[in-house]
Amino acid sequence: MLEEVRLLLKSIGILLPHISERGLTMPIYNRPTINNVLHYSTIISGHFDEDDSYYTHRQHGRSDWLIVYTVSGEGYFRTPAGERYCGAGDITLLRADVPHEYGTVQGQRWNFIWVHFHKLPEIDYLPTDEVLIHTLPDGYLRERIYHIFLNLLHDSRNRFSFWNILCENSLREIILLIAQRLAKQVDSRIEHTLQILSHSMKEQIKIDNLAATIGLSSSRLSHLFKQEMGISILEHLNQMRLKQASLLIEHVGRTATEASLEVGFNNYNHFASLFRKMYGVSPREFMNSPKSYNKQQIPSVPFDSY
């Protein structure tokens, strides 16, 4: 009966979704024949927790790349360029075709997630070291990348539809996050501060509380932030809020008042004053013709604090 209905509807140009034993799926006419269109590289991953008897030696290297995230413990990598060590929170990238040996440091355990993959174009954003070891700071970024590696494990093992694309996108994200940090290296404490500010943008942030979380005095954090970023903590926070408010006004249809509240301003007049300093117009003028103004303009006059 269902097939008769399908044929009838098809005759007038309507296609039903395909129904299999697993239930409703994408309509057949929308399903790309992926295996005939895309070439997939092999991606293999694993999660090891090894004592100091563990090592791997490859005299001629491998034709693919290896990326490793150390969860805990300590490992080593030996290549013609020398010996490197990796610890908790380190990402290690071993280039293809490099003779190597790696293993657990004597007297240690090494808990690590590894992924073998063929070169992705984004690799070219990174230095050309035989072994690149990048240390992630404590906090949000380390947690983010750890969970990306867990996703890689899940997708490469289950190998459901589109698993290879998902794995490659996860690898790209890791590589680009490393490249981003290398492009503009800042003190790890300031990087942690920036992460807190972006996640707590809507909240009323007190410098004393922020400094306590970072482990510095208020004066030391304020000085270090200004030294690294060129503006104060509150100036950076306000710029971030104002940029977000302008996007909400232009693309989401928020009124100026709604946008000010959504980004964390409780006083509209204060918001309007800072907005005018940044964009040269009032929020309501911006709302009427947002594309007429330079949204990347950075004020030459420092923002007021709260």
- Residues with Cβ within 8 Å of 277's Cβ and at least 6 positions away in sequence, in order, are 299, 301, 303
36 located within any domain: no
Question: pLDDT at residue 12 above 80?
Answer: no
Q: Is 283 helix (H, G, I), strand (E, B) or coil?
A: helix
**230, 259, 289 - which closes a domain:** 230
Identity at 31, one-letter amino acid code: R
Same domain, 94 and 205: no
Start-to-end CA span in the chain (Å): 69
Do 177 and 48 reside in the same domain of the chain? yes
Q: 280 and 192, same structural domain?
A: no
Which pLDDT value is given to residue 301?
38
Is 178 in the same domain as 203?
no
For residue 186, give the H/E element and its range: none
pLDDT at 89 over 80: yes
Provide the pLDDT for residue 80: 97
pLDDT score at 139: 84
Residue 65 belongs to some domain of the structure: yes
83 and 26 share one domain: no
d(CA 149, CA 115): 9
pLDDT class of 29 with cuts at 50, 70, 90:
very low
- φ and ψ of 101, to 5 deg: -140, 140
What pLDDT score does 254 carry? 92
Closest to 100 (Cα-Cα) out of 127, 118, 79, 69: 79
Structure tokens at 290: 């947002």
What is the band of 94 on the pLDDT scale with cuts at 50, 70, 90?
A: very high
pLDDT of residue 300: 39
pLDDT tens digits along 126-177? 999 999 999 998 888 999 999 999 999 999 999 999 999 999 999 999 999 9
Residues 75, 240: Cα–Cα separation, whole Å: 40
- The whole-chain average pLDDT of the chain stands at 86
8 Å CB contact between 48 and 110? yes
Q: Is the pLDDT of residue 21 over 60?
A: no
What's the chain's Rg over C-alpha atoms?
A: 26
Instruction: Please report whether residue 283 resides in a domain.
Output: yes
- In-domain check, residue 251: yes
- Report d(CA 84, CA 101) in Å as an integer: 11
Q: Could you read off the pLDDT of 36-73 as tens digits, one per residue?
A: 334 456 899 999 999 999 999 999 999 999 999 999 99
Same domain, 69 and 179: yes
Q: Does one domain contain both 105 and 208?
A: no
- pLDDT band with cut points at 50, 70 and 90 for residue 291: low
Write down the pLDDT at residue 25.
47
129 and 101 in one domain? yes
Asked if 223 and 237 sit in the same domain, the reply is no
Q: CA nearest 78: which of 152, 131, 136?
A: 131
Same structural domain for residues 60 and 173? yes
304 found inside a domain: yes
Confidence at residue 185, expressed as pLDDT on a 0 to 100 scale: 79
Residues 6+ apart with CB under 8 A from 172: 120, 122
Report yes or no on 86 lying in a domain: yes
Total domain count for the chain?
4
**pLDDT over 50 (residue 225):** yes
Instruction: Return d(Cα 31, Cα 284) in angstroms, integer.
Output: 46
What gap in Å lies between CA 176 and CA 122, rounded to an integer?
A: 7
Distance from C-alpha of 232 to C-alpha of 222, rounded to nearest angstrom: 7
**Whether residue 60 is found in the same domain as residue 142:** yes
Task: Read off φ and ψ for residue 23, nearest 5 degrees.
Answer: 110, -160
Structure tokens at 291: 């594309």
Question: How far is the CA of 99 from the CAs of 55, 75, 90, in angstroms?
Answer: 14, 17, 21
Q: Indicate whether 306 belongs to any domain.
A: yes
* CA angle at 195 for the pair 260 and 205, rounded to the nearest 5°: 50
Q: Within a domain: residue 250?
A: yes
Task: Encode pLDDT of 234-255 as tens digits.
Answer: 999 999 999 999 999 999 989 9
Q: Which domain holds residue 269?
A: 233-306
pLDDT at residue 8 tops 80: no
If asked whether residues 162 and 265 sit together in one domain, one would say no
CB 104 within 8 A of CB 54: yes
Residue 233 binned pLDDT confidence (cut-offs 50, 70, 90): very high
Q: What was the pLDDT predicted at 130?
A: 97
CATH at 167: 2.60.120.280
